[in-house]
Amino acid sequence: MDRKAIEKILSTERIAPYLKRQENDFEKAILHYKANIEISEAFYPLISIFEIGLRNNINEQLIRQFDSVDWFEDHEFVKITSSFQVTRITEARSSILREKKEITPGRVVSELAFGFWTSLFDLKFEKSLWKNLRHAFPNFPKNQRQRKNISSKLNGIRKLRNRIFHHESIAWNTEAIENYINELIEGINWLNKDLENWAVDLFRVGEVIEKERYIIER
């Protein structure tokens, strides 16, 4: 494809940061853009395993706390939540109904977005949910297992996840990318000490970084 066609499809605004980084060399800018796609793709297994493991561990703790698989409908849970959580649950139920499926606890849990789960570690839930939710991370060092530390970690991963899923750039700094990898692997280990070994063959971000390092670091 020629430059005009690429700029029309991707937009000049999207390509501009890559052009700036590559000193207005269009060919290198497009290679950098492609490298960002490939690195983003390689993060998917890490994010997928962490996100699913996180929501299932949290779900387990909420079932225990409210003594119900339908904890999201429990009066006590609804009473302590904000409009954000209530709206996300309502949207999840509506999405299931639009697909003409029966609303079940498992489907609601699967439909709730990552932002819902991370929001449960906000300061407002320190006294109501944290005592139970801390057990969702059995391998988090006990001397550091504080709500604010968990919340900070989850929000950092959420921001990375959202950048990737919204097709934004993450490939400017290989050291930062490697830190993202370490953050996700550490988070996975907090959930289950055997999960990393079970999924290690899916983790290939490091290989992709090495392949694309020349264009990212110029």
The pLDDT, as a whole number, for residue 143 is 87
Query: What predicted TM-score, i.e. pTM, was given to this entire model?
Result: 0.92
Condensed to tens digits (0 to 9), the pLDDT of residues 30-49 reads 999 999 999 999 999 999 99
Mean pLDDT of the chain: 95
First to last CA, the chain: 23
Q: Which 3-state string (H, E, C) describes 144-179?
A: CCCHHHHHHHHHHHHHHHHHHHCCCCCCCCHHHHHH
| Tally of CA atoms within 13 A in the half-sphere of 130 that contains its CB | 14
Which pLDDT does position 109 carry in this prediction? 97
User: Which pLDDT does position 62 carry in this prediction?
Assistant: 98
191, 56 contact by CB (below 8 A): no
Write out the two tokens for 196: 């990393």
pLDDT at 218 over 80: no
Q: State the Cα–Cα distance between residues 163 and 176, nearest whole angstrom.
A: 14
Q: How far apart are CA 62 and CA 212, in angstroms?
A: 42
Q: Which pLDDT belongs to residue 171?
A: 92
pLDDT, one tens digit per residue, over 103-124 is: 999 999 999 999 999 999 999 9
Q: Give me the percent of the chain exceeding a pLDDT of 90.
A: 94
pLDDT tens digits, one per residue of 136-157 = 999 998 888 899 999 999 999 9
Determine the pLDDT at residue 126: 96
Nearest CA-CA partner of 188 in 65, 47, 24, 75: 47
Neighbouring C-beta atoms of residue 3, cutoff 10 Å: 13
User: CA-CA distance, 152 to 166, in Å (whole number)?
Assistant: 21
- Residue percentage of the chain with pLDDT more than 70: 100
The reported pLDDT for the residue numbered 217 is: 85
Query: Is the confidence at residue 22, as pLDDT, over 80?
Result: yes
Q: What is the pLDDT of residue 144?
A: 87
Residue 155's pLDDT is 95
